[in-house]
Chain A
Amino acid sequence: MATPVPSPPDPAPPRLELRGICKRFPGVVVNDGVDLAVRAGEIHALLGENGAGKSTLMKIVHGVLAADAGTILWEGRPVRIGSPGEARRLGIGMVFQHFALFESLTVAENVALGLETRETVEALSTRVRAVSDGYGLAIQPDRHVHELSVGERQRVEIIRCLLGAPKLIILDEPTSVLAPNEALALFDVLRRLRDEGCSILYISHKLDEIRRVCDRASVLRGGRLVATVDPRQESARSLARLMIGVEPPDLTERRRTEEDGVGPLLEVAGLDLDRDDPRGTDLRDVSLAVRGGEILGLAGVAGNGQNALMRALSGERRVSRPDTIRIGGTAAGLLGPRARRDLGLAVVPEERLGQGAVPDLTLADNALLSAYRHGGLVRRGLVRHGRARHFAGRVMETFNVIARGHGAEARSLSGGNLQKFIIGREILQQPRVLVAAHPTWGVDAGSAAAIHQALVDLRDQGAAILVISQDLDELYTLSDRIAVIASGRVSESRPTHTVTAEDIGVLMGGLFDDGKVAQAGGGPAHVA
């Protein structure tokens, strides 16, 4: 063809190009010849399940890990990124999933630590204020990080990035900790940055938001790049198929209706609890009831008393009157965690490492910790290791936990896999009452569906389930009724089909006495 077609040949090289990146850890290949190109001024999603190698790949780009093989090209030139400092000098900034912040330091000090600057903290405070005003990321530079909400902490990370004048920002699952309105505000910031020419690498497994914000999406599966697509041309289902490799599972139909439920198995009446930690929240007059065969969803932005409520329910903190908390009709307010478990309570705590599992113990030992009375794992005070290992193996098999085996230490599992293990451990004990905080936080779509299915099955067997979550989609999928927690108070619960996301936003806003969170604007669409 001799006709000069004015095709845009894309003369500029991509901002970041990865060629054949390989990374092995003992026993596993995490990245296997990954090629990836990120253009200037695009929001590029990196999609994949837990353990697909997303975080490892990003750590290589950010200079935290070194690749075993492969090249990195930055604006067309091959580069070696040996440390986060070198990445920063190239113009690569990173917003971590588990924030790299220092709680006892101020915002400005945290920002200073992420920049190579000779500026005084005071001078930096001025610049923090300027960026914070410019992008609508409200933050006060002299506050201590431990006083901030999760959303505010993320703003600190983003501002820290922006002050380094980056050409590429990597965000690792940025919305996993955000309320719907906070996520929307974040998307606005990202679009603005893109329009200013900044490239954004957006790691997530939330398909809806990727379709909403991203220009292109690369899908990783088992350490390999399987496709790069335009997410706006794809459906959530087709993306999930790329990610998982098979058709995504569907939740079985709800079999029970409200009338089937028996009396409340978990009841909280007029619970008042003062904070025992300066960073905590007081609980005020909290009342809720969960019947057998029912899932109650408790929505709310993190840091509004969920943690205190969890600890009061589990028995980590005793309450003043026995009858404020009833489990299966028995007054349990003064009982400890063990006695409550004897009443049929199981708890999936918020914090996986520490509360949910002991990091240095094997999975078999961790299974023993909460399940020792079930299935005869202990006889006359002696541990039956064979049975414990078998039980752990069953949890891993049923819930598809990827690990070296029941002998793997809890800390060696990825967050999502550990979450599956902890939930599985509790569900297999057939509890009458299950309290689960953020059951699928950081868990990929396939596993989240499995966890949801397990919760629904447990409900159908007649258990009472309280799910505390920030993820409204999850609560709509699971709950029979929804209540909202805000500033240590809990709203009346209402049947899920009568509550819209806007209602929940209003409840969150209306319950806040100090108006800290304005009304949550349009949340995700109501999925009935």
Chain B
Amino acid sequence: MEGLDGLVALLVAMIRAATPLTLAAVGELVAEKSGVLNLGVEGMMLVGAVAAFATAVATGSLALALLVALLAGMTMALIFGTLTLGLMSNQVATGLALTIVGVGLSAFIGKDFIGIPISGLGPVHIPGLFELPLVGPVLFAQDPLVYASLALTAAVSWVLYRTRAGLVIRAIGENHDAAHALGYPVLVIRLLCVLFGGAMAGLGGAYLSLAYTPMWVESMTAGRGWIALALVVFATWKPGRVLLGAYLFGGVTIVQLHAQGAGLAVSSHILSMLPYLATIVVLVLISRDRARIRLNAPSCIGKPFKAVR
């Protein structure tokens, strides 16, 4: 019975480790599908994380904290969108700058909050399903953001591939000139997608500071924003594969933590590296089919668009 409990604890931890990545990566996927490459995910996550934490400390309301994180991420994305879409600045450079700003800004805001404890986001037991053996405690006793991340992934997949709005987003990412010629407001739709990406990154950051480790530490995202970016590419812009990649990353993270705890005779640095390595290797392996990549990759990604009137 103890073995089973251990497994449950492992799986629960795995899902929790995967959730911030899922949120950020699914948001970035939507932005990239519309043709915008926002390398500022890490910065948006950090700002989301610190905004959520500060709000939680100040007001005690976790719901309000989540809302503020969402808005903070969107504000960062709005800056990015204004620069790249409105003023035609280079997307790569602007995205990198956004990350640097996010790192600095979050450290600046967060310096008064270091070491303050809060009671983070707790699990919600879903009645009826929670009692199921193994599956119950793993899947149906998580915090609300885990449920939200799964629901949002499914929703994004459905919108992108089953609705007209999704069709328009994909079309704009594929060929913005043609979309413009057909009368679609390319820049407006791209801005909305970028804002969605910012909101999701903000939520992902908030998950770290409110639920995963309920405290504020400088640069607490530890490169998860970059992993989210890599996930989107290696998952060939498919929401389902993004989820798979995030869970793989979460899984290896937890397993290597346990290995470190058990005193495995391998350098902890190498073990800490494993989740990044494993995720990239597996996703490279499943996305070897070049034809598929060409079909799913948004052709206009990173290209500026200027409408001539």
- Chain A residues 111-132 with CB under 8 Å of chain B are 112-114, 118, 121
State whether the Cβ of A452 lies closer than 8 Å to any Cβ in chain B: no
Measured CB to CB, the residues of B under 8 A from A are: 164, 167-168, 170-171, 174-175, 177-184, 290-291, 294-296, 299, 308-309
B182: A residues at CB distance < 8 A: 84, 100, 113-114
B308–A65 CB distance below 8 A: yes
10 closest A-B pairs (Cβ-Cβ)? Answer: A84-B183, A100-B178, A85-B183, A278-B291, A100-B181, A102-B174, A102-B171, A83-B183, A104-B295, A102-B175
Q: A96 contacts B181, CB within 8 Å?
A: yes
Please give, as numbers and ranges, the residues of chain B lying within 8 Å of A492 by CB-CB distance. Answer: none
Flag if B181 contacts A84 (CB, 8 Å): yes
Q: How many angstroms between the C-alpha atoms of A431 and B299 in the bound complex? A: 36
Whether B181 contacts A113 by the Cβ 8 Å rule is no
A461 to chain B, nearest CB (A): 41
User: A88-B183, A109-B167, A113-B168 are contacts. A66–B309 as well, Cβ < 8 Å?
Assistant: yes
When C-beta atoms are compared, the residue in chain B nearest to A117 turns out to be B164
Which DSSP category, helix, strand, loop or mixed, fits chain A's interface?
loop
Contact B179 A113 (CB under 8 A): yes
- A371–B180 Cα distance when bound, in Å, is 37
A504 contacts B by Cβ under 8 Å: no
Q: Please, how many angstroms separate the alpha-carbon atoms of A178 and B55 in the complex?
A: 64
What total of A-B pairs shows CB separation below 8 Å?
62
Judging by beta carbons under 8 Å apart, are A105 and B299 in contact?
no
At the interface, yes or no: A63 with Cβ under 8 Å from chain B? yes
Give the CA-CA distance A133 to B180 in the complex, in Å.
30
A238: min CB distance to chain B, Å: 34
Q: A63-B183, A278-B291 are in contact. Are A103 and B174 (CB under 8 A)?
A: yes
The answer to whether A104 touches B296 (Cβ under 8 A) is yes
A88: min CB distance to chain B, Å: 7
A100 to B181 alpha-carbon distance, docked (Å) = 7
Residue A144 at the chain B interface, CB threshold 8 Å: yes
**Bound complex: CA of A103 vs CA of B291, how far in Å?**
13
- Interchain nearest-CB distance for B297 vs A (Å): 8
A284 to B27, CA, bound (A): 46
How far apart are the CA atoms of A94 and B182 in the complex, in Å?
A: 9
Please give, as numbers and ranges, the residues of chain B lying within 8 Å of A65 by CB-CB distance.
Answer: 308-309
Name the residue of chain B whose CB is nearest to the CB of A83: B183
B183-A103 in contact (CB<8A): no
A residues within 8 A CB of B178? 96, 99-102
Is A207 engaged at the interface, CB distance under 8 Å to the other chain? no
A64 within 8 A of B: yes
Chain A neighbourhood of B164, CB < 8 A: 112, 118
A101 engages B175 (CB within 8 Å) = yes
Kindly list chain B residues whose C-beta atoms are within 8 Å of the C-beta of A113: 167-168, 171, 179, 182, 184
23 A-B pairs within 8 Å (CB atoms) are namely: A62-B181, A65-B309, A84-B181, A84-B182, A84-B183, A85-B183, A88-B183, A96-B181, A100-B178, A100-B179, A101-B175, A101-B178, A102-B170, A102-B178, A103-B174, A104-B170, A104-B299, A105-B171, A109-B167, A113-B179, A121-B167, A278-B290, A278-B294
Are A112 and B183 CB-contacts (below 8 A) given A102-B175, A103-B299, A104-B296?
no
Who on chain A is nearest to B291 by CB? Answer: A278
Encode contact with B along A129-149: 1 for CB under 8 Å, 0 otherwise.
Answer: 000000000000000101000
Contact, CB under 8 Å: B174 / A104? yes
Q: Which of B170, B180, B183, B308 contacts A105 (CB 8 A)?
A: B170
Q: Which residues of chain A from 79 to 94 have any CB-CB distance to chain B below 8 Å in the complex?
A: 83-85, 88, 94
A105 pairs with B174, CB closer than 8 A: yes
Q: Nearest residue in B to A146 (C-beta to C-beta)?
A: B295
B293 → chain A closest CB, angstroms: 11
